Amino acid sequence: MKKTIIFIVVPMLMLLTSCASKTDIAQSWETNTSTNALSNAEQEFNDSGRAKAIESESDMWQIYEDKDIWFSFKYPIWTNLITEENYTLDPNQSYIKVEIKNIWDKVAPNDLTKEEDMKNIEDLSAWKFGVNYDNPIQESKKVDTVWNIFWQDFLVLSRFDVCNVTVERVLVFYFNNKKIILTSYAPTSTLRTSATDYFMLDEANCWQDTRWDFDKQKDFYQSLVDNKWPQDIQIWYNDFDKMLETITFDHK
């Protein structure tokens, strides 16, 4: 009798094992089939040439576009676009601001007159920097062009008073009867502690805060050009150069 029981149970165990194995095999086959299909899709995408569209980091950046004057550029995803007139800058973040003005309007104190703007247009076309806009570091002033549009490119490290500390890179150009100003703001939260050689104590004017050593500002700029700066500031500066390469104009 025991033999009979054993004879009956063993096939059942074998049947259950067999059924489980078939289920596992089916699930495994479905998983593998799905995986293979995904791989095939990926392979098809790679073979199609579409994957080659992403060739540089800037291909993944955000896009700013102004359809009124037909002008656009890309900017890093970690950079904040300033869209409001009243804004507060977080010193741990980087920002980009776009200003578009009529060349005959003088609204802000540092705005040029119409005559000065017209002189700048003439000077820039002759590869001359022209009249200063804002408070540029002399050594940083450059003239460049793309698509026959000439621009001023410069660095601003302070303005308003002796204790003011900022790091801004500014681009000024003229297009479709407008003056366009791009201002990029660097993260400055650790600047005074990471760049002590470029700052000095001025208790008479700034109390316990340090201020720029103005004689060393040109050295600070040169260190950026030479890629010798701490990561956050250097990335910010280099990103601006990459951004310039993405600027496009539509002459409509």
The answer to whether residues 95 and 79 touch, using CB atoms and an 8 Å cutoff, is yes
pLDDT of residue 104: 82
Q: Phi and psi (nearest 5°) for 200?
A: -145, 155
Quick one: pLDDT at residue 64?
95
pLDDT of residue 75: 96
* Overall fold of domain 57-249: Protein Transport Mog1p; Chain A (3.40.1000)
For the chain, where are the E strands, in sequence order? 62-66, 71-75, 79-82, 94-102, 142-146, 149-156, 168-175, 178-185, 199-201, 210-212, 248-249
User: Residue written as tokens 């470029």?
Assistant: 198
Q: Label the pairing between strands 71-75 and 199-201.
A: unpaired
Phi–psi pair at 55, nearest 5 degrees: -110, -15
> Could you tell me how far CA 211 lies from the centroid of its own chain?
27
pTM summary value: 0.75
Can you give the pLDDT at residue 176? 87
CA distance 186 to 57: 19
User: What are the structural domain ranges in the chain?
Assistant: 2-52, 57-249
Residue 242's pLDDT is 94
pLDDT by position in tens, the chain (length 252): 444 443 333 333 333 334 444 344 334 434 444 444 556 655 665 565 555 555 666 678 999 999 888 899 999 999 999 988 878 999 999 999 999 999 888 878 778 999 999 999 999 999 999 999 899 999 999 999 988 899 999 999 998 889 999 999 999 999 988 999 999 999 998 898 888 999 999 999 998 889 999 999 999 999 999 999 877 899 999 999 999 999 998 755
DSSP string, 184-203: EE---TTHHHH-GGGEEE-H
